[in-house]
Structure formats: C-alpha cells, structure tokens
C-alpha cells in the first residue's frame, strides 16, 4: 500500500483550518479558518502557498467555493447559512436557514455538485446529536436535504445525481441519490469505518473514484475505494487532520488542512504543526472542483 508523507506548505497557522478547494479559474487555493471567520486565498509557487488575500467574514465560516464566473466571487457557508463574497471583499447574505435554530447551530463543511448547486451542512455548537441539517443552495434558494445530522462533513460527487457523504459520529460513508429537483431520493451506507482508523472528516475524490478522507485525531489521510478498502495512506505531522483537496496545475498535489481546536496553550506550543496546511504528492490526479452557478437549476 502506498504510504506518503505530507510536508508543511504555508506559513499561516490557523485555529481550525478547513474546506480547502483549488480554484482553477484563478489558479489558487482557497480555505477557511472556521472560528476566526477568515477566508484565505493563496498562490502555489515552488512548493509553497503564498497568501495573496485574506477576507474576514465577521462570523464563523464553514466552507467556501468559487463561482463559475469569477466576476460573481465566491459562495460561503457562513454561521447561519449562505453568503456571497464579492470580488471587492464585501459580503452579502444570501439565505440563513439556521438563524434562530435551537439548539444554536453553525454551518460546517460543503461542496458544489456538477450542476452548480452548493451543498453544505450544519451542526449544533454543543454537538447535540441530530441537530444539524444538510442544505442545498440552488440559484440562491436554500432547501433542506437531509435532517437529523450531527456533524455534517465530507461530500464527494460521483455523478450529477449521486454523492457520498460523511456525518462524522456515524463512522461511515453514506451513498445518497438525488432527483432532478435536488431532493434526496435514496440513501444508505456505502461502507463503515473502524473507529481505530480515526473519525472521518473532510473528503475529496480522485479521477479513479478513490476517496481521500481526513481522519481526525490520527494524523492521517486515507484513500478508500468506494467499497471501503484502504489503498493508500498519507501521514501528516499534526493529529487533527480536518480536510483535503487536490490542487496545483496538474491536480496531483493533495492539500491538507489541520486544526488546533480545543488545544490548551501548552498543547499548542507542544504541537506547532497543528493548524498548518500540508501538501503531499500522490499517485493519482484529482478531479477539478465543481463551481457554484448563481443562476443554476432549481
């Protein structure tokens, strides 16, 4: 089984880095620092990420994806729902389906589908089981897709009408099918993940259909087949691995985010890699990220 080692590739240290996505329209990596409410954009040059812009949302941000037309900016999963980050750095609220939710919730991970819709889920601030919802934002209209989620995390689209999905505490990857209207038609367990491998968090997919899953708490990213066989491992010198994506001009670099969430000052000092971004050259190419289409299908 191939075993790779990731190396630090950015100087910025986050509190809780998440949601990396390679923006092929601008040739840059974009990611978030959730609790700091920051969105970073960086150029990839000579094996290092050079941050060119940092945007402060003024609230928690769970994920960000570029719009298909660069002039439309980015769509962001903000604390209560969705916002548009405009090219001039300003934010506009689009939809807030989680505002006023009890118990209080915030948006977490998200990705676009091949039709240009943005899917992102929520979780309770106190992690109340089942308090979260996976939402679908289509043409700037938000609809709930899956209720009863605890920690909505990784998504990977396998077809325009099918995706794989992680609700972290369930220790499994679900297979979900959706109808033409974006509503869930069916869902079931694709495969289970043994707890000793770690807690599944963010996820990306390669051109061969392999799933690269960040395993929180273990300092690893594992490649799974869609039947659940582990076929490759990336070792990351930081325990709390949160997400990953393929990027770079040839989509052969695996970018990995990490976190120092819930660390004491002593733990943070003892683990200086926690919160850094890492990169690993791996055996396969990734798939280009799907981008948001504001006027997409409803």
CA–centroid distance for 209 within its chain: 17
Cα gap 182→157, rounded to integer Å: 13
Catalytic member of 33, 201, 206, 290: 201
49 — pLDDT class (breaks 50, 70, 90): very high
Q: 83-100 pLDDT, tens per residue?
A: 999 999 999 999 999 999
CA distance to 50, 75, 119, 194, per residue, from 143 (Å): 36, 16, 10, 32
Class assignment of domain 3-281? Answer: mainly beta
Helix H, strand E, coil C: the string for 27-50 is CEEEEEECCCCEEEEEEEECCEEE
pLDDT of residue 182: 85
What pTM did the predictor assign? 0.96
Phi, psi of 134, deg, nearest 5: -90, 125
Cα gap 282→51, rounded to integer Å: 23
Q: 135-149 pLDDT, tens per residue?
A: 999 999 999 999 999
Q: What percent of the chain has pLDDT over 90?
A: 95
36 is in an annotated binding site: no
Residue with tokens 């990611």: 31
Q: 55-79 pLDDT, tens per residue?
A: 999 999 999 999 999 999 999 999 9
Q: Three-state SS for 115?
A: coil
CA distance to 9, 43, 138, 163, 280, per residue, from 49 (Å): 6, 6, 32, 30, 13
The domain limits of the chain are 3-281
161 has catalytic annotation: no
Residue with tokens 């880095």: 17
18 is in an annotated binding site: yes
108 is in an annotated binding site: yes
Q: With contact defined as beta carbons under 8 Å apart, do 200 and 154 qualify? A: yes
């Amino acid at each position: 089984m191939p075993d790779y080692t990731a190396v630090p590739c950015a100087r910025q240290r986050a509190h809780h880095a998440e949601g990396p996505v390679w923006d092929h329209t601008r040739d840059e990596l974009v990611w978030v620092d959730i609790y700091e409410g920051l969105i970073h954009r960086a150029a990839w040059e000579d094996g290092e990420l050079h941050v060119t812009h940092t945007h402060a949302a003024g609230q928690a941000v769970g994920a960000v994806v570029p719009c298909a037309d660069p002039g439309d900016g980015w769509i962001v999963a903000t604390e209560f729902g969705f916002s548009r980050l405009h090219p001039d750095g300003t934010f506009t609220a689009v939809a807030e389906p989680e505002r006023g939710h009890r118990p209080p919730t915030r948006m977490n991970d998200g990705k676009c589908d091949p039709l240009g819709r943005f899917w992102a889920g929520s979780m309770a601030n106190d992690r109340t089981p089942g308090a979260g919802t996976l939402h679908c934002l289509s043409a700037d209209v938000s609809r709930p897709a899956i209720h009863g989620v605890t920690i909505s995390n990784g998504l990977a689209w396998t077809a325009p009408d099918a995706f794989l999905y992680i609700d972290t505490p369930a220790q499994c990857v679900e297979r979900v099918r959706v109808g033409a209207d974006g509503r869930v038609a069916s869902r079931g367990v694709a495969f289970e993940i043994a707890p000793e491998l770690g807690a599944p968090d963010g996820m990306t997919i390669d051109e061969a259909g392999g799933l690269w899953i960040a395993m929180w708490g273990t300092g690893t990213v594992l490649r799974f087949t869609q039947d659940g066989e582990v076929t490759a491992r990336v070792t990351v010198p930081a325990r709390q691995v949160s997400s990953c994506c393929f990027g770079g001009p040839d989509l052969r670099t695996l970018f990995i985010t990490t976190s120092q969430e819930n660390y004491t000052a002593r733990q943070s000092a003892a683990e200086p890699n926690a919160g850094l971004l890492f990169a690993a050259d791996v055996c396969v190419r990734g798939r280009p990220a799907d981008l948001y289409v504001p006027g997409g299908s409803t």
